[in-house]
Each structure stands twice: as structure tokens, then as C-alpha cells.
Structure 1
Amino acid sequence: MPPPSPPPPAALVEELIEEILLRFPPDEPASLFRASLVCRPWCRLISGPRFRRRYHKFHRTPPVLGFLCGRFTSDGVHIARFVATSSCSPLADRRCRLFDARHGRVLLLRSGEPGRENILLVWDPITDEQREIPFPKLTRPACTWKAAVVCAAAAGGACDHLDCHRGAFLVVLVIAYSPETFIWTYSSDAGSWSDPIFTQHHDDCVDLFYPSALVGNALYFEFWSMKRVLKYDLEFHEMSVIGLPSSFGQRVGVFRTTDDGCLGFATVHKSKLSMWSRKHGPEADAVWTRDRVVDLETLLSSNAIRTDPRLVGFVDRIAVILLRADNALFTVDLKTSKVKKVCEGAGSITTVVPYMSFYTPALGAASTGERPSAGGSSA
């Protein structure tokens, strides 16, 4: 008589499965997508809002899924191209001008054709949803202008920005005339622009290409001259101009957030990366100090430094610098000193902004019994 068959293995309890899935790396979203295809219970678990909330809180910092690169085509058209640095699905180019990306949203400009007005677009690359925002009515041509997008709760600091990309947002528009700079704020809740505020800027213009920085509840914008920075307080709707140290000279730099939450700045001169910070205190008493100098010659190949590296961006929360050298785009991790090449052909790139977001299989698939789509839920 044959021996009795062994009992079937005990099914993993759902709590244990969830604990395992929570530890899947967020910078490889394809791994969660494949897990959701294993069976309907796993799909239901991964696609549910409870798992999404726990996954975001477990990992805390959204991963960099890629970089959006603004460039001109040979025929002078603005293109926003997504360069993936993860297993995120490739995205088609957008025939728009790139301005900003923050809190799971991307801010673009669709230039108006003859007889049509410019339109700002707030776009979610993961769901491909977008919202059109008409430009405020301007009474005269601008010298330069710049725009940024933030979660609406950034004004009061009441959001951890882990899952707010579907919520309300603000668009801050900075327009420089001579000799004044104006700021308008668009609220998605109100569906309208605020009345503008303005300040004197001494015949300086906001920089078109370098991204703004969000530090605390304030946005910072560079001026062309590299002598001043424009600060806009989101909570009190006030703007001011801050001086930069004369030691910066005319060097190109980017703003950043320091580890202790202060405004920071990075410059490159003769392959030396200098990191500066502005310590908290009254505006008149706050001082800039140089915290660190990194020799890029020890990190980049000899080919990459045949021309002086040029800073083009900074990734907040993970301390990564973006720089262009030898027609290629690189990331430099300031904590580990690791360098990665993002893409070639960077000579035509005018603007680079990181896209940071959690990316999980689309909601609703589990409830219908269908397989989840490749489109996801971002944060």
C-alpha cells in the first residue's frame, strides 16, 4: 500500500505576503507589477490603497524614476524627453517646454500658435493625466519668466508628499519686467490666478533654464547675474531678494536643500564642486558658508572632463548632483561619491529636472478580476 501523500504546503498568510512585498525596491516598479500577476489575491493586495500607503511610508523617499530633459530640436521646437533610470515604462516625447517637476507632477508650456495663447500643462507622466492652465493676462511683454509646481499643502508644511499627486496643487509664475519682478499663484482648488505681487530687481532677470528649489515653505529662483536669488514664501505670499556671496563670482550653480533643511547652493569651477549652505536666521544676519569641496577629476573619467563640467540640477532628499560633461549627462551621489551616466547627447539639453515618484500597478484592476495595467499609481 503506497504511503499517504504529504499534506499540501500551508498557504502564506496575507500579512506575511504583504511584509515581503513591502520590501520590494521602489526604484524597480516592474517587480511589483510582476508580483501582481501571480494571482488575484496578490493583485488585490498590491492594488489596494492600504498597501500603497504602507509601501510609501515604509520607503519614505520616492525613488527617481528618471529625468525629464528639455531640449531644442534641429528645427527649433521645444521637446520634453523622459530618460528612464528605472524599470518605468518609456514615455513619448512631449512637444512642450519643460519647466519643473515636483510631488509627482510635471509642469510644461505648450506654446501658442499664431492667434492662440500659451497654455501651462500640469502633467502626471504615470497616468498621463494633464490639466490645462491658461496664462494670466499680461499688459506688456516680459523680459523673462519662470514657473514652478508644488503640492498645495507645501504652503503650510502639512503634507509628507508621499501620496499627494492627485490632490490640489499650486503653480507659481515669476515674470520679470524692467525693473520689476511679478509673481502670480494659480490654485487648482480655486481654478484661478491670484492678484500679482512684485518687487524691484535692479534690471536683473530670472534664469530661464535652471530649476527652482523648494526649501521649507519657500521657493527660490535664480537671477541671470548670479548675484541674487528671488525668494517666494508660499505661506505668507511674500517675496524678497537675497544676495549671494561675491566669492561665487560668475560661476554657474544650482540651489539645493541641505541635510538640516537649509537653503544650499552648489558651484563648479575648474572641476572643483563646492557645496555652500545658508544657515537659518534673520535675512540680514544669515550667512553663506562653504561646507564641502569635491574634486570631480577623481570621480569622472578623463574623457568626461575634457571640458569643464556644468551643473544642471540637484535631486533633493537623496543628495544627488546633475552635471553635463563631454556631451553626456551624469549623476553624482554626494553621499557615496558614485557617478552614473544618464544619457549621451546632452549638448542640446537646456533644462533637466528629476522625476521622483512611487509607481505601483493601477488601482481598480483587482476589483474587476482583470490583470492590472502597466500604467501605475504615482505619488
Structure 2
Amino acid sequence: MGELAEDLFLRLAPELVDAVLLRLPPGEPACLVRASVVCKPWFRILADPGFRRRYLEFHRTPSVLGLFEDDGAYVSTSALPSVHPGRGRLADRPLDCRHGRALLAPYSRSFREGNAVILTVLDPLTGHLRRVLSPVDEHVLWFSAAVLCAAQGCDHYGCQGDFRLAVVTTSDAGVTSGWLYSSETRVWSELTTVGHPKVAYYANQGAPSVLVRDALYFNIDGIIELHLGKLCLSKFEKPIAGKGRLMTAQGGGLGFIAMVDVTNLTLWSGEAGPKGAMVWTKLRVIDLKKLLPAGALMTQTVDYGINGVAEGTQVIFVSTFIGSYMVDLKSRQVRMVSGRGRNITPYTSFYIPAIKAASPSQGQRAGASSVRRAGARGRR
């Protein structure tokens, strides 16, 4: 196989082979390692630092590499080295994932009794974590939080430096407040507040936020905008009452998706109107019966619903009678990833395995070993 591939490579223009390798799926990082052991010319292309830059620029949107379930379990969706599938359940529940990091918080609501809430910022691929004392106090009914990269001008292909945290709380006095934290200064800054008199006790249970340009959006009995540039909060209405999820609309704006009945999904896009209100436009209706396997949408179940959204993509997660499916609304690819009735926080990132160029023979042996380890993890 190696000799055949090398002979084929010699017959093709190098730019054609490069174009083929660029199209290897980012959601399966082990494919890059497998390709590197096919022949020496392929290895040299993949080991070139320039290939990494071209690969990231070509795909641009990170892939779903794993997912956190609301019971504390982490599930890898590819044969990818990760510290958490082997560790089982976590002690905290997931709040948010963004820019290569996950944000976790304790399950307990003992902050209503005056106990501190410690937030954990975790890199699921390396296991590196930071713990931060949050501003949540005993007057809070519920809170949501977000994590994002703090580096100016970062392309977010491989964030490793400083980060920011955002916390939005709803209080028993009918007020929604916001805070921003910088890992560089280790200081929380309090933002302006907005009235929120009808907020429910379990206000959407801290559903993950969505980052759109320079603002974070939280789904808390309506939509709360935390503007990162203006450092202020605003409140908007949702396009439909009841359950639904914020997402990234096609084109990069704010979107909203809801299951309006037992088989149909409706998507909206939102833009701020001239008087400050959010103007919603219905984009399309999707018939889930045409996407999901037969029997998944039995009418007897009460577990239907959108239980996760991968920010910046058209990937959503749908809980059905059979289990939870990852649905790519753009490619229409569907696969089961979890059990039914579980909230899912997807972890999206780019992961390009290190392929050393110093010694092709040594690098190929190392690459093959990485493939075997990744494959073993995927089979467990």
C-alpha cells in the first residue's frame, strides 16, 4: 500500500495531493496521523508547519470532538486522545464550552445558603484546569456563565492563553445582573443590571450562551445580551414562547431554534431593530421525520426536544424516544451520540496531532503508535 501510494504521489502534482489532504475531516483527527504513515511524501506534507495553517484556514469552523452530559459524563465523539473518557463522570456540571475550554460548576444549589460557587475552567484534551471563585451569592435564583478567549486578534484555532468569564444571575428581587472576569487581572467587574420581574426559579437551568460578534446571549426567561464592548446588559423577547435554544444563524448572526410540534423544527434569525427591540425572521422549517430513524419520534414519549447546540455550526442535538442524535442541519448527517432526556454541552475545537518532521522514519513509527492509541480509545 505504501509503495502504491508513493508511486501515485509521484504521478500527481504535489498541489493536488495537498488539496486532498486538506479535505480530511477535522472531526476525526486520527485521519491525519493515518495519512502520515502511508508514504514519505505524504508524511513530509503533513509534517510541514505550513500545512497546519492551510488546514485551519480551509476548514475554519471547529468540529464537535466530544460532549459533556448534564450528569457529569464526558463522551468523546471521535478516536481522539482525551483525559476524560477514562476518568468517567465529573464532580461538576457543564455550563459552557468555547475556544477550546469547558466551564463547569458544582451541582449543589447550596449557594442559596451562602456557600461559595467555584467555577472550573478546563481543557478537556490536556486536563489543565483553573478554579475561580464566582460572584454568585445567596440572593441568586439561578445563574448562567460563559467562557471565552481573551487574546486580542486571536483566530481561536488553538487558544491557550488568558481567558474571560461572564456570569449572569437572576435574583429573588427580580433583577438580572452581569459580571466579567479576566484571568490576567483575576478581578470580577460588575456590569449594569436590568429588571427581570417574572423570571422563573429554574430559569432554563443555565443553558449555554451563544457568542455573536461582540456580545454573549443567554436564554433566561427571554434573552439577555451581555455586550462585551459596551459592558452592559439588555433584555429581548424570544421569537416563540416555551422551550427553544439560542444558536448561530447561517451567516454568523444570532439564531433561535425550537421544536414547535413533535416532528418539526423551526429556525429564526434575529437582528436588533431601529428602536432596540429584537426583530425575528423565520428562516425555515425542518421535518425531523425525514432525518431521524424510524421509531425515534414515537408520540408516547415526553423526552422530545433540542438538548444541545454546537455554537458557530449548524449542528444540533435532539433527544428522542430512542436516544440523543447529533444532527448536522447543513449536511443532513445524523448519528446517535447519547441517551435520551440528557442535556448536552458540545465541546468544539481543532485538534491536529503533532507530526514531527525531524526524522521521517521515526515520525512514521510515532504516528502509527498514535493511531493505535487513538483507535483503542475509540473502541472502548
Whether these two folds match at TM > 0.5 is: yes
Aligned pairs (5 A) from 1:221-370: 221-223=218-220, 225=221, 228-245=222-239, 248-250=240-242, 252-270=243-261, 271-284=263-276, 286-306=278-298, 307=301, 309-343=304-338, 345-347=339-341, 349=342, 351-362=343-354
Structure 1 residues 283 and 302, CA gap change in structure 2 (3 angstroms): farther
Write the deviation string for residues 59-112 of structure 1: whole angstroms up to 9, x where unpaired. 2222222322222xxxxxxx132241x222362332221111111111112468
Give the whole-Å Cα distance in 2 for the aligned partners of 1:353 and 1:113.
20
Give the whole-Å Cα distance in 2 for the aligned partners of 1:113 and 1:217.
31
The partner residue of 1:145 within 135, 143, 146 is 143
SS at match of 2:155: coil
Give the C-alpha shift of residue 211 in structure 1: 1.7
Write the deviation string for residues 30-56 of structure 1: whole angstroms up to 9, x where unpaired. 122234567999778746654322221
1:62 maps to: 62
Aligned pairs (5 A) from 1:126-275: 126-136=125-135, 138=136, 140-153=138-151, 158-163=153-158, 165-178=159-172, 179-205=174-200, 206-223=203-220, 225=221, 228-245=222-239, 248-250=240-242, 252-270=243-261, 271-275=263-267
Structure 1 residues 261 and 22, CA gap change in structure 2 (3 angstroms): closer
Give the C-alpha shift of residue 321 in structure 1: 2.2
SS at match of 1:235: coil
1:123 maps to: 122
Q: CA RMSD in A?
A: 3.5
Structure 1 residues 119 and 201, CA gap change in structure 2 (3 angstroms): same
Give the C-alpha shift of residue 147 in structure 1: 0.8
Give the C-alpha shift of residue 253 in structure 1: 0.4
Q: Structure 2: 5+ residue runs without aligned partners? A: 1-5, 375-380
Asked if the contact 2:268/2:282 (under 8 Å) is kept, the reply is: yes
Give the C-alpha shift of residue 256 in structure 1: 1.4
SS at match of 2:73: strand
How many residues are aligned here? 347
Q: Quick one: percent identity of the two aligned structures?
A: 37
Q: Does 1:29 find its partner at 2:22?
A: no
Give the whole-Å Cα distance in 2 for the aligned partners of 1:338 and 1:289.
25
Write the deviation string for residues 204-252 of structure 1: whole angstroms up to 9, x where unpaired. 15422422111121111112x4xx211111111110100224xx232x1
Give the whole-Å Cα distance in 1 for the aligned partners of 2:210 and 2:120.
19
* Residue type at the aligned position of 2:264: K
TM-score normalised by structure 1 residue count? 0.78
Give the C-alpha shift of residue 185 in structure 1: 0.9
Give the C-alpha shift of residue 283 in structure 1: 5.0
Of 87-96 and 45-54, deviating more is 45-54
TM-score normalised by structure 2 residue count? 0.78
Give the C-alpha shift of residue 9 in structure 1: 7.9
SS at match of 1:326: coil
* Residue type at the aligned position of 2:258: T
